[in-house]
Amino acid sequence: MVFFEKVTKIYSDDSVALEDVTFTVKPKEFVSIVGHSGAGKTTLVKMILAEERPTGGSVFFESQNIHSLRRHEVSKLRRRIGVIFQDFRLLPGKTAFENIAFAMEAAGRSDGEVESDVPHVLELVDLGKKIWSFPHELSGGEKQRVAIARAIVNQPDLLIADEPTGNLDPVNTYEIVQILKKINDLGTTVILTTHNKGVIDSLDRRVITMENGKIVRDDKHGKYML
């Protein structure tokens, strides 16, 4: 599904964010990408979303070279990718329902689809009773569940979770990881970036370890080795 071919990214100050990175993520796979701050994880995610261009090499989504797409084609690609961030990025003046509905409306979904799909996806993340709650009325873990629901409501082929447990306590971290595993079991490809050793060791899924912009390990059933 996602293929990096000898990808290098050098920024204007000559800092090397990625160096000769090659790997493949297959459909329905769950892949964790780990590494210390500055290892290249964020740049890698931005490459998939076409927010950064490689200095060398190519990034493919299925058979498409992401960085040769026209602007409208990039928009179409991004609709196939759901993204979860560490800081939730919820709209503070909207309820859980409205935050998710907003994402559906932006994708051109009908009012009928919104009415049926939003409650369903909130139930999927065990948050059905909080459907009319505003972000300030939710805990950190609940906010992240709303963010996950928003990311998957349009049924993306790929879900990118970028340090999704960085602001959460161990209990909420465990629950979020279980939800991500459930989403993967339902057929969505998941790419998780994290530096949380406990998360990685509990998953027993593929782990790509990055260091100074390079892939130094790629283990099918990996542990956190840094």
What pLDDT tens digit does each residue of the chain (226 aa) get? 999 999 999 998 789 999 999 999 999 999 999 998 889 999 999 999 999 999 999 999 999 999 999 999 999 999 999 999 889 999 999 999 999 999 999 989 999 999 999 999 999 999 999 999 999 999 999 999 999 999 999 999 999 999 999 889 999 999 999 999 999 999 999 999 998 888 888 888 999 999 999 999 999 887 777 6
Backbone φ and ψ of 58, nearest 5° = -140, 150
Cβ contact 40:21 at 8 Å: yes
What is the model's pLDDT at position 222? 74
Residue range 2-219 forms a domain whose CATH class is alpha beta
What is the model's pLDDT at position 150? 96
Q: Report which of 99, 77, 95, 108 is spatially closest to residue 148, judged by C-alpha positions.
A: 99
What is the model's pLDDT at position 226? 63
- Residue 30 has, within 13 A of its CA and on its CB side, a CA count of 18
Report how far residue 77's alpha carbon sits from residue 64's, in angstroms, rounded to the nearest whole number: 9
Give Dmax (Cα) for the chain.
51
What is the model's pLDDT at position 197? 85
Task: Report which secondary-structure segment, H or E, holds 194.
Answer: strand 189-194
Report how far residue 152's alpha carbon sits from residue 46's, in angstroms, rounded to the nearest whole number: 19
What is the model's pLDDT at position 86? 87
Cβ contact 15:32 at 8 Å: no
